[in-house]
Structure 1
Amino acid sequence: MEKQLLRKLYLEKRKSLTPQEVDQLSTAILKQFQSLDFQSVKLLHTYYPIAGKFEFNTQILTEWLRQAHPEIMLVLSKSDLQNHTLQHIIWERETPLAMNQWGITEPTDGETVAATEIDMVLIPLLAYDLDGNRIGYGKGFYDRFLADCKPACLKVGISFFAPVDESFETNEHDIPLDLCLTPEKIWHFKK
């Protein structure tokens, strides 16, 4: 299936969920997340959910991490909308946040870190296949970012849905997931 069609299909699938379904699915995803091994994670890159895109609310993961693993430093990105790149900023509770022109909440200021220092990345997506290839919003921000991460960095997708049965067409810039958290299970992908 064509990526553009899958983007549209999975946006519609997310929009069709009721708030109660989203809460139940989110709680189940949090339980999957809590089962991960955080022993070697010092810097964890997360994302702020985009209002209106019906994304998983990563704030519940953030709050759990801050309580259960205060030693882990959280990182949020600030977008360079002209170059389609990301700058990575340590996210403290007091870090000032603002919404950019695309509706993405991001830090306005703070201490930056290199992509090569990050140990785990939580990656927004619309759909993914059984090989760990993902479909995002189509601008390539995360592919450029993930290409700069160290090989040992764990790339974690989050989805309310199981993977698409057929493989996507990929190009040399596409970086696959290592695993994907869903309400039912954690999908692990071969390297």
Structure 2
Amino acid sequence: MLKAELRKKYMQKRKALSIDEAFLLSQKIFENFIGYFKPEEGEKVHIFIPIQKFNEIDTRIFIQDFLTRKIRVYVPKIVDDKLINIEINQNTVFETNSWGISEPVTNEDSGEIHFHYVITPLLYCDKKGNRVGYGKGFYDGLFQSISPETKKIGVNYFDPDEYIDDVWENDISLDYLVTPVEVLSFLNGLQ
């Protein structure tokens, strides 16, 4: 299927989830992530803050756990059409931007490129690790700028089913996908 078709299909599937269903599935995704990757104190995790109107995975569960366990947390913020990485802590002040996204008030880019994990938002991921996001390319740009050792991890309510037919040359695939059911690795050419 084409990205545009998959984007529409999976946005509708996601919006069909109730608030309670989305939270329970997010909790299972979190548990699968922790059980598989076992992040440790001092490690650095880049993670998105959920856009609630899009019914995204509730990553606030992850963020609270990470901060409690002294795992360093970085979140994205778009400033002048560029994604920057801001380190947050329990005292970070947030505001809601014009798109309804909660983000740190500060625009100070951490400059960090050596993350252990980048937990990536997406609408769909196929069995090769190719992903469909919102079509802005911010995460492809992020993936190009970070350390190649960083584990690129997608989180999704839904398992891969269909292949993406219009993968572009500059698209960067994920290393892993975490769903409520399992963790899939694409590092060994999973087909």
What TM-score do the two structures reach when normalised by structure 2?
A: 0.90
1:173 aligned to 160, 164, 170, which one? 170
**How do residues 148-167 of structure 1 correspond to structure 2 at under 5 angstroms?**
148-167=145-164
Rounded to whole Å, the distance in 1 between the matches of 2:107 and 2:163 is 42
What is the CA-CA distance between 1:51 and the residue it aligns to? 2.2
Note the residue ranges of structure 1 that are not aligned, 5 or more in a row.
none
Q: For residue 126 of structure 2, what is the aligned residue in structure 1?
A: 129
Instruction: Give SS of 2:161's match.
Output: coil
Q: For residue 91 of structure 1, what is the aligned residue in structure 2?
A: 88
What TM-score do the two structures reach when normalised by structure 1?
A: 0.90
Rounded to whole Å, the distance in 2 between the matches of 1:172 and 1:17 is 33
Q: For residue 74 of structure 1, what is the aligned residue in structure 2?
A: 73
**How do residues 109-120 of structure 1 correspond to structure 2 at under 5 angstroms?**
109=106, 112-120=109-117
Measured on the aligned residues, the alpha-carbon RMSD in Å equals 1.8
Rounded to whole Å, the distance in 2 between the matches of 1:168 and 1:76 is 30
What is the CA-CA distance between 1:172 and the residue it aligns to? 2.4
Identity of aligned residues (%): 33
- Read off the aligned partner of 2:119 and give its amino acid letter: L
Instruction: Give SS of 2:174's match.
Output: coil
Rounded to whole Å, the distance in 2 between the matches of 1:119 and 1:146 is 13
Mark the CA change 1:90 to 1:37 in structure 2 (over 3 Å): closer, same or farther: same
Contact 1:46 1:122 in 2 (8 A): yes
What is the CA-CA distance between 1:112 and the residue it aligns to? 2.9
- Read off the aligned partner of 2:178 and give its amino acid letter: L
Contact 2:123 2:132 in 1 (8 A): yes
Contact 1:144 1:173 in 2 (8 A): no
Note the residue ranges of structure 2 that are not aligned, 5 or more in a row.
none
Q: For residue 145 of structure 1, what is the aligned residue in structure 2?
A: 142
Instruction: Give SS of 1:161's match.
Output: coil
